[in-house]
Amino acid sequence: MAWRRYQREQRAAVQENRPTARILSKTQTPQVSTQTVLEWHEKRLISMKEETDNQSALIQSVNEMVDKIDSRSRLNETFISQCSRTNKEIEKDLSNITSKFSGTENLTHQQNEKITKLENALATSLISIERLETFIKNINNDYLTFKDNFIKSKNLLEVKVSEDHAKKLVKEMVKESIDEKVKQNQQEIKKLEKKTKKKQKVKLDVSEKPKNKQIEKLKKEEFIDIQ
């Protein structure tokens, strides 16, 4: 479009500089000399050469612009190809990120499930701990009650043991005293038997022991204590 406009402008300029034919009257005589016509043609050729030089310069500049546009277009094509590669890489990275994100969501869901299970286990553990504390308190109370009962039983047992021990000691003492008295009585009986044998010369039955009232009384008391 610029080139055509430039051509129209050049044609209009040439037409403006072209001399117009004038109708000479019959009385007029031609006043233009050959030298003038030659000068005019020379000027016209010079102007045409200048116009041609300008047109060649313009064409060269246009060619340079076209080369620049071609280089720009090549650069644009390279940039577009790089952008397409970059877009493919970005899409690939996005797909990888999406897959990783989905995997992360699955892991997060699993972690949330584990946390929920752990919370439930902790709640169950707290309930078990409360029950255990109650059980320990009951055991402690039972132990204190048992301790009190044991102390009371121990005191009663000690009292009973002391009474039993005293009874046993009394029984042993009574038995020892009875044995000693029996021995003494047997010795006295033997002495009496010897004396009677010498004096009366009478045979006595030693198998039957004479009864001693004091010994029989002590034996009865011991039998009552044992019962």
Q: For tokens 């000068």, what's the residue?
A: 39
Closest to 45 measured CA to CA, from 14, 70, 16, 80: 14
Residue 162 or residue 59, greater confidence? 59
Residue 153 or residue 188, greater confidence? 188
Distance between alpha carbon 183 and the CA centroid of its chain, in Å?
Answer: 95
Angle, helices 34-199 vs 2-17, to 10°: value is: 160
- Tell me what the mean pLDDT of segment 153-165 comes to: 65
- Tell me what the mean pLDDT of segment 147-167 comes to: 69
Which pLDDT belongs to residue 21? 47
Q: What's the CA gap between 178 and 90, in Å, rounded?
A: 122
Q: What percentage of the chain carries pLDDT values higher than 90? A: 0
Closest to 9 measured CA to CA, from 39, 17, 20, 21: 17
- Tell me what the mean pLDDT of segment 77-96 comes to: 81
Q: What's the CA gap between 88 and 96, in Å, rounded?
A: 12
- For 113, 115, 117, 125, the CA distances from 121, given in Å and listed in that order, are 12, 10, 6, 6
Q: Is the pLDDT of residue 57 over 70?
A: yes
Q: What percentage of the chain carries pLDDT values higher than 70? A: 69
Which pLDDT belongs to residue 164? 66
- For 111, 163, 181, 204, the CA distances from 123, given in Å and listed in that order, are 18, 59, 84, 100
Q: Compute the mean pLDDT over every residue in the chain, rounded to the nearest whole number.
A: 75
Which pLDDT belongs to residue 26? 46
One-letter amino acid at 107 equals L
H-helix or E-strand spanning residue 74: helix 34-199
